[in-house]
Amino acid sequence: MRILPLLTVIVACALGAACSSQQGYATGQAWQQNECNKIIDTPDRERCLARARQSYDTYQRQVDDLKKNGRAD
């Protein structure tokens, strides 16, 4: 049931178009950071947080690169 709040936000954004993709990304990242903070093992938690702190611009560049290389649907 931990994923339910995230899904609620995503569905609300998709249906209402009130959120930009960047706002949706930020919401997902905040949720992921909260999940990372539940990890007890420090090195694992830090790796998780490093992924969850990735900027939207970095994320968007990676998506664009995947699309250019034909690896994204």
In a structure prediction context, what are the per-residue pLDDT tens digits for the chain, which is 73 residues long?
A: 456 665 666 666 655 555 788 888 999 999 999 999 999 999 999 999 999 999 999 999 999 999 998 764 5
pLDDT at 17: 55
CA 18 to chain centroid, in Å, comes to 18
Strands (E), the chain: none
pLDDT at 52: 93
CA distance 32 to 52: 6
Q: For the chain, what are the domain ranges?
A: 4-68
Find out whether 46 and 15 touch, Cβ atoms under 8 Å: no
